Structure 1
Amino acid sequence: MTTRRNFLKTGGAAVAGGVVFCSYGLLRSVQARQTLPVRVGGQRVRTIDVHAHCHFREAGALLGPQAASVQLPPVNGAEEAFIEIDKRLAAMDAQAVDMEVLSINPFWYDRERDLAGQIVKIQNEKLAELCASKPDRFAGFASLTLQAPDLAVQELDIAVRKQGLKGAAIGDSVNGVEFSDPKFHPVWAKAEELGVPLFIHPQGIPELNKRLSGDGWLGNTIGNPLATTIALSHLIFEGTFDRFPGLKVIAAHGGGFLPSYADRSDHACLVGPKGCNPAVQLKKKPTEYLKQIYFDSLIFSPEAIRHLVAQVGASQIVLGSDYPYPWQLAPVDHIFESASLSDDEKADILGRTAERLFDLKAQTIGTGTMKQ
């Protein structure tokens, strides 16, 4: 009988098309079945990964010896966040990804205003420079000094109007303050005015660290999706989406746990009205707000995609990988394997929705001019 251990001992991993295992069966390297140029129903589709990360050493240098602890977490792929262009392009080609929309997970929210502002300024300048050097392969989300909302408004305006960035990447809260807090309203108003999306990427839930300790990296496995679930739920229940109906939000990791149990939200205030603020009168059922949120496809399987589509609609899903962190090294494949999707729905998820969301113009990318 071929066991996983025997498979590895006999070199089976090398035979299996580039599949390599590390502890707990995590796939470290996967040979994607799809290749560039990607075609759906015979039509060329530009694949756009909206969930890909980077870092800049120049920004970390402002933190001195602390830089490594925030820019190089002890996870696979961390060093590759410092992009070497040729190496990153080769990785994208191997994943059948035409374009990455790059973001930087916030590590500056707990820094004082001036230092955080300096970090953000460097990151936005360097990211804009990188994207301008390869506009057919990279776009970028700005960083924001969200602990100082007045400064964040200025940063977002400069990033979009002058630096060509396509929106902003934010965490799931700021130093314990939820995004539904009125202090952040000017930032959401600016994003709505500019018509650009905000990418919510969770930072975990430190107050649960004790319960999430132990085996399985539960601080990320459970904590990150839960943080996104909480952030989105506050934005829904506290009327933020009603206040800013044109606000575009993309939720990482398929929106956390919310789409998997969304219908419970419709019943909460009926069952426990004392747990709900009577001053907040939502214009829609809580589940209906999911249809105005965008979700990345980093949920691994065709069945998970089928369920997410059933909850929010295929038009609200965009491609995501989390690269260079090896969560999903063949991000296109499970979209193609989703028998529940039509060709049009697959094309939308792979890139057409992102083209519209980021207002990406037709560009020449290797195999010919892409048209919207």
Structure 2
Amino acid sequence: MTTRRNFLKGVGASGIAFCSCGMLDAARAQGAAPRSTPVMVKGKRIKTVDVHAHCLFHESLNLLGTEEAAKVLPPTKGVPEHFIVIEQRLKEMDAMGIDMEILSINPFWYNRERDLAAQIVKVNNEKLAELCAANPSRFGAFASLTLQVPDLAVQQLEDAVKKQGLRGAAIGASVMGQDFSDPKFHPVWAKAEELGAVLFIHPQSTPQLAQRFKGNGWLSNTIGNPLDTTIALQHLIFEGTLDRFPKLKVIAAHGGGFLPSYAARGDHACFVSPQNCNAEIQLKKKPSEYLNQLYFDAMVFTPEGLRHLAAQVGASQLMLGTDHPIPWEQHPVDHVFATDTLSDEQMAAILGGNAARLFGLKEV
């Protein structure tokens, strides 16, 4: 098995090295070796795929006006790189050992009126398609959707997949507090299932708890984002949405939030308090078992976190995720190799094999 110790021994001989380009000095100070593609597991070349990477386009932000556009820009390191400069982005990907990024744009249009939201989505999807067509081996993308207008979102998704070659759609964890289990969204999920389109759930904090998130530690993100995803997934499970759309392909960001760490609690909920459950909703499986049909990025930071996530949901459901260009996970390949509880086959699957199968990509 490719343990971290054996892998690092091989680095000196093979010249393999990965490190976030912009963080090279910091990485050296921490003792992390700089890295570059290609990535090998047991002598086999692996096409590494990052399913959680972001970008923004000036053309769509400009539709908001200067003042509103400024509110959209994330208050994080990496902001300048959100507007993709291809050569720089490719250098950073190479430095992290990433062959391909599946790009997404976090929704900033759910609270905009229909026509403006439609314009923003149109520009986003056209620019994403253009970028991917020019760099097909390095970029794929999730479409933007006006989910607040489901009938329009259905058409946008079909056009994105059939005409623009996008891989699915990026969605928030709710639409301004409306959960995805609401029947108004069913036509969108039906279309995604029909097309085989992948849905990438990326949270937008949990706005209802904004007051409690105030204070030190950026809790709106560190707690709010994983919590938002957790709530979204639990509603999809408990309201029977995943039973209604059993072939739906869903990736949950940030390791699926808190759900994989406490999923079994949900298995007991309706036994302990039946009055808090709807007797008319008869799930086909235990609530925790639905995690094995969902997908998750591996952005959980530690080998123990990744070991636990794989044990809960299966290594077959995990994929690389970096949040690039935001510097959350700067050594995604190292993270997988450091998790020496994973077999070579499981490492290869997480690094790129699972994503290749889900998105229909060539594995090398």
Give the TM-score normalised by the residue count of structure 2. Answer: 0.91
Residue matched to 2:292? 291
Counterpart of 1:119 in structure 2: which amino acid? Answer: I
Distance, in Å, in 2 between the alignment partners of 1:279 and 1:327 is 42
Q: Is the 8 A contact 2:40 2:46 kept in 1?
A: yes
Gaps of 5+ in 2: 1-22
Q: Is the 8 A contact 1:72 1:79 kept in 2?
A: no
Shift of 1:77: 0.6
Shift of 1:30: 9.1
Residue matched to 1:4? none
- 1:2-17 equivalences in 2 (<5 Å): none
Counterpart of 2:163 in structure 1: which amino acid? Answer: K
Residue matched to 1:18? 25
Shift of 1:34: 4.4
Shift of 1:257: 0.2
RMSD (Å), alpha carbons: 1.6
Q: Secondary structure at the match of 1:51?
A: strand
- 1:155-174 equivalences in 2 (<5 Å): 155-174=156-175
Q: 1:113 to 1:31 in 2, by over 3 A?
A: farther
Q: 1:117 to 1:302 in 2, by over 3 A?
A: same
Distance, in Å, in 1 between the alignment partners of 2:347 and 2:279 is 41
Residue matched to 2:139? 138
Distance, in Å, in 2 between the alignment partners of 1:143 and 1:98 is 23
Distance, in Å, in 1 between the alignment partners of 2:214 and 2:302 is 27
- 1:1-372 equivalences in 2 (<5 Å): 18-19=25-26, 34-361=35-362, 370=364
Provide the identity percentage: 65
Counterpart of 1:127 in structure 2: which amino acid? Answer: L
Shift of 1:33: 5.1
Give the TM-score normalised by the residue count of structure 1. Answer: 0.89
Output one character per residue of 1:91-143: Cα deviation in whole Å (capped at 9) or x when no partner.
Answer: 00110000000000000000001100000000000000000111010000000
Distance, in Å, in 2 between the alignment partners of 1:34 and 1:65 is 39
43-52 or 67-76, which deviates more: 67-76
Gaps of 5+ in 1: 1-15, 22-26, 363-369
Counterpart of 1:75 in structure 2: which amino acid? Answer: T
Distance, in Å, in 1 between the alignment partners of 2:297 and 2:106 is 16
Output one character per residue of 1:28-61: Cα deviation in whole Å (capped at 9) or x when no partner.
Answer: x995554311000110000000000000000001
Shift of 1:74: 1.7
Q: Is the 8 A contact 1:102 1:139 kept in 2?
A: yes
In the TM superposition, structure 1's runs of 4+ consecutive aligned residues that sit over 4 Å from their partners are: 29-34
Counterpart of 1:95 in structure 2: which amino acid? Answer: M
Q: Secondary structure at the match of 1:290?
A: helix
Q: Is the 8 A contact 2:24 2:34 kept in 1?
A: no
Shift of 1:72: 1.6
Q: 1:274 to 1:203 in 2, by over 3 A?
A: same
Distance, in Å, in 1 between the alignment partners of 2:270 and 2:205 is 27
Counterpart of 2:339 in structure 1: which amino acid? Answer: S
Counterpart of 1:18 in structure 2: which amino acid? Answer: D
Q: Is the 8 A contact 2:293 2:317 kept in 1?
A: yes
Output one character per residue of 1:163-221: Cα deviation in whole Å (capped at 9) or x when no partner.
Answer: 00000000000011100000000000000000111000000111111111000000000
Distance, in Å, in 1 between the alignment partners of 2:261 and 2:80 is 33
Distance, in Å, in 2 between the alignment partners of 1:63 and 1:101 is 25
Shift of 1:75: 1.0
Distance, in Å, in 2 between the alignment partners of 1:237 and 1:145 is 25
Shift of 1:20: 6.3
Distance, in Å, in 2 between the alignment partners of 1:78 and 1:183 is 35
Q: Secondary structure at the match of 1:121?
A: helix
Shift of 1:69: 2.7
